[in-house]
Amino acid sequence: MNRPWQKNLINIEPYTAGEQPKSDDIIKLNANENPYPPSPLVQKAIAGFDAESLRLYPPMDAAPLRRAAAKFYGLDPEWVFAGNGSDDILATAFRAFFNSPEPILYPDITYSFYPVWCDLLRVPYKTIPVDSSFCVHTEDYYIPNGGIVLPNPNAPTTIALGLGEIEELLEHNTDSIVIIDEAYADFSDVSCVPLVKKYPNLVVTQTLSKSRSLAGMRAAIAIADPYLIKYLDAVKDSYNSYPVDAVAIKAACAAFEDREYFEETCRRVIATRERTAAELRRLGFILPDSGTNFLFVTHPEHKAEDIFLFLRERGIYIRYFKKPRIDSYLRITVGTDEQMDKLLSALRELC
């Protein structure tokens, strides 16, 4: 067919998310979701939600959510931005902060949405190789750049940099914006939130999808100097004034209010992660220590793709990336103890 307009269509390779199973009896360990339900306060907030109020637009700035997150972190609300998941916030932040002709920097093995946004938004970028153990070396980032984005802990490698290393990175990069994507930080012992008062060019993004079990709701926050928050607001108000819906605002506020449940859920996930990691090592798997709610594993005697397919046949979905440098690795989300026992007994059969 003649399509003279073809040349004007976008040429982009989109991000691929973990497969959504068609049946309910699949053990789904492929999208880093939390195996536990959201806080009972969230369930109460949703059950008590006044549907009649949905005829009104939600608050444009999701102010109740900004206040709840600010209270949680002991900050003023001006330091918080709210969005429809951290993917939404990161895309907003790329638009707001990465407008230099210099390339932005991020690791060659990292969250695979970053190159997609760079292509979509025409942001030049340069990837910085992690070493053969998948470690990020901050000194590799002491070069001219138009910005830096770094997940901490990194995904899918699970490895976290210490606060000292992040500070070094910031000390050497005072001329550009540094975004630390803390999607998984609640499962580690490091968070850069305390650094935002010291570094006016630091932006920390966090999500309620993982540690607060709200992936289906789509809510997240960014924390930064109010001067930068204004730029995030300006971009938000230039393409979607109401990114967080009224139900999500209520649910997300309730999640921030229930600190005890949040901490207990993280503790449980971490305990299961450590037990699973030890068992996997006993089976001959090699994996870095994880600061996330997933494990990044390889086995010297079994091909990753074979393990992936073997588990898939048994109704256990994990993530396999057919990509250079990581195609011998698998990413396994930490589920409940019972789910991990099923995974381990299937792997015992294989190994």
Q: Is 87 in the site for ligand PMP (CB under 6 A)?
A: yes
Q: Taking the complex as a whole, how short is the minimal distance between the CB of residue 221 and ligand PMP, in angstroms?
A: 10
Q: Taking the complex as a whole, how short is the minimal distance between the CB of residue 101 and ligand PMP, in angstroms?
A: 26
Residues 128-147 that bind ligand PMP (CB under 6 A): none
Q: Taking the complex as a whole, how short is the minimal distance between the CB of residue 148 and ligand PMP, in angstroms?
A: 14
Contacts 24+ apart (CB under 8 A), 46-49: 46/247, 46/250, 46/251, 49/246, 49/247, 49/250
Give the per-residue contact string, 181-210, with ligand PMP (x = CB under 6 A; - = no): x-x-----------------------x-x-
Q: Are 82 and 219 within 8 A, CB to CB?
A: yes
Query: Residue for token digits 């995030």?
Result: 232
Of 35, 85, 147, 335, which one interacts with ligand PMP (CB under 6 A)?
85
Q: Taking the complex as a whole, how short is the minimal distance between the CB of residue 181 and ligand PMP, in angstroms?
A: 5
Return the number of the residue (138 or 157) whose C-beta is nearest ligand PMP: 157
Q: What CA–CA distances, in Å, run from 112 to 6, 67, 85, 158, 305?
A: 27, 31, 16, 14, 19
Cβ-Cβ contacts under 8 Å for 316 (sequence gap 6 or more): 26, 27, 29, 342, 343, 346
- Give the binding range for ligand PMP (CB under 6 A) out of 33-41, 85-93, 230-238, 250-258: 85-93
- Give the binding range for ligand PMP (CB under 6 A) out of 82-90, 160-168, 172-180, 194-202: 82-90
Q: Is 290 in the site for ligand PMP (CB under 6 A)?
A: no
Return the number of the residue (117 or 342) whose C-beta is nearest ligand PMP: 117
| Four-CA torsion 348, 321, 34, 344, nearest 10 degrees | 0
The DSSP secondary structure of 264-331, one letter per residue, reads HHHHHHHHHHHHHHHHHHHTT-B-PPPSSSEEEEBBTTB-HHHHHHHHHHTTEE-EE--STTTTT-EE
Q: Taking the complex as a whole, how short is the minimal distance between the CB of residue 209 and ligand PMP, in angstroms?
A: 3
The DSSP secondary structure of 211-242, one letter per residue, reads TTS-TTT--EEEEE-HHHHHHHHHHHHHH-S-
- Phi then psi for residue 244, to 5 deg, are -105, 120
Nearest CA-CA partner of 222 in 127, 93, 131:
93
Interaxial angle between packed helices 63-73 and 246-257, expressed in degrees from 0 to 180 and rounded to the nearest 10: 10
Residues 248-277 that bind ligand PMP (CB under 6 A): none
Dist CA 222 CA 160 (whole Å): 19
Q: Is 220 in the site for ligand PMP (CB under 6 A)?
A: yes
Return the number of the residue (117 or 302) whose C-beta is nearest ligand PMP: 117
Dist CA 110 CA 129 (whole Å): 10
Of 58, 64, 151, 243, which one interacts with ligand PMP (CB under 6 A)?
151
- Give the binding range for ligand PMP (CB under 6 A) out of 46-54, 83-91, 170-178, 283-291: 83-91
Q: Is 169 in the site for ligand PMP (CB under 6 A)?
A: no
Q: Is 33 in the site for ligand PMP (CB under 6 A)?
A: no
Return the number of the residue (138 or 158) whose C-beta is nearest ligand PMP: 158
Nearest CA-CA partner of 316 in 286, 350, 287:
350
- Phi then psi for residue 120, to 5 deg, are -60, -45
Q: Taking the complex as a whole, how short is the minimal distance between the CB of residue 86 and ligand PMP, in angstroms?
A: 3
Of 94, 106, 111, 117, which one interacts with ligand PMP (CB under 6 A)?
111
Q: Taking the complex as a whole, how short is the minimal distance between the CB of residue 113 and ligand PMP, in angstroms?
A: 7
Binding site for ligand PMP (CB under 6 A): 85-87, 111, 151, 155, 181, 183, 207, 209, 215, 220
